[in-house]
Amino acid sequence: MEKENSLEKKHTLEKNVLVYNNRTGIAEKMAPLLIGEGLSVLVAADLDHLYNILEKSEIHLMLVDVELNDKGWDKGIEMIAGLRKKSSIPLIVVSAQSAETAKIMALEAGADDYVTADCNPLELLARIKSQLRRYTQLVNMCSNIDRIYKVDELVIDDTQRKVTVEGRSVRLTPIEYKILRFLVQQRGKVFSNSQIYENIWHMQAIGADNTIAVHIRHIREKIEKNPKEPRYLKVVWGNGYKVG
């Protein structure tokens, strides 16, 4: 247990690798190589400990063994399926179990890769780095998707700070862009001049009505076919503005 705790010391490293069921001693074998790559290693003593770590720590990859003590590898397959329901992070099986059936079932249960415990540590390191690259790319892709906002034919790509309407590029000033993005993100909600001002400038709104009205008019002229009958940026008389 002391050895496990020593591996769980807090690190200021970039990514965390979680080892569960360290029967093969893979944590000790791989720790120097992983730390050398800027990765930290945590070891879960049991299944409850594993779920506790997953809940409280940001884990980027798991190394697990399909053989659960005297329960057999079929129980390990069930464990992998359960882990996959709770998390999509990369999962590599590292096991002394070399049966082809175990490998196939582990992959079908959701494992991303399967290697035997006697594999070359450098080969396992390469597989770990490959899975981390793929996972990072996927996370970045999802993050970018989350930063694209659409209201009908109005599209804001916040990763590139681009606005298009019906495929036509729209050039907004930085303040105009922030106002439009704010209202699009809060689609359907009505904001007063003061609320818009305070959310964009982050200061108390004093005499903000004219300032916001001018910016709203300019935004409409750029994104609306008919600014007098806006499709996107609408006024709610006596209350403020909204998108949608």
Instruction: List the beta bridge partners of residue 91.
Output: 62
Question: 164 near 155, Cβ under 8 Å?
Answer: yes
SS3 171: coil
- Within 10 A of 145 (CB to CB), how many other CB atoms are there? 9
Only one residue has tokens 């409280």, namely 56
DSSP 156: E
Pairing of the two strands 61-64 and 15-20 = parallel
pTM, whole model, 2 decimals? 0.55
The yes-or-no verdict on residue 1 having pLDDT over 60 is: no
Structure tokens at 174: 């930085």
pLDDT at 12: 38
Neighbour-count burial of 86, counting CB atoms closer than 10 A to its CB (0-12 exposed, 13-18 middle, 19+ buried): exposed
Instruction: Provide CB contacts within 8 A for 224, sequence distance 6+.
Output: 230, 231, 232, 233
Tens of pLDDT along 77-106?
888 888 887 777 889 999 888 888 888 888
Tens of pLDDT along 198-231?
888 887 877 777 888 889 999 999 999 999 999 9
SS3 72: coil
SS3 49: helix
Residue % of the chain over a pLDDT of 90: 28
Q: Can you list the domains of the chain with their CATH numbers? A: 2-145 (3.40.50.2300), 148-243 (1.10.10.10)
